[in-house]
Amino acid sequence: MDSDAIANAAQTLGRRTLDPEALKEVIEGKFVDALRSVAAEMAMDELHEQRSSFVQKVQQVVSEDLLKNGLELESVSLTGLDQTDKAFFPPTMCSTPKVWPR
């Protein structure tokens, strides 16, 4: 990491670097945003079938965002994919695919 990145991290993160919980919130938020934005572009089966593509896209989005804070992302791994049960969503957000007879 170069001195410009260190200066940028100090400037943009400030005192949060001294508070692990505050720093975690900032970084975790960036990951959650990246995961959601990339996942929104893919169906659940695509996420399973194209895991490496999904991970690469998330890594790219997060890396760009962290770089703004002078931070560098070393690696990303996907440990699991879970789909929220439809019971947790209002009926207007859940659609059931319709199968039409031929």
With DSSP H G I counted as helix, E B as strand and the rest as coil, what are the percentages for the chain, rounded to 5?
Answer: 65, 0, 35
Provide DSSP, 71-99: ---------------GGGS-GGG--PPP-
CB atoms under 10 Å from CB of 57, counted, come to 19
11-53 tens-digit pLDDT: 677 777 777 888 888 888 888 899 889 988 988 888 888 989 9
Map tokens 């070393």 to a residue: 74
Q: Which span out of 4-8, 54-58, 66-70 was modeled with the highest average pLDDT? A: 54-58
pLDDT at 76: 84
Instruction: Find the helix packing angle between 20-39 and 51-67, rounded to 10°.
Output: 130
Map tokens 């900032």 to a residue: 26
pLDDT at 93: 61
Average pLDDT for residues 60-76, to the nearest whole number? 86
Domain ranges for the chain, please list them. Answer: 3-93
pTM: 0.64
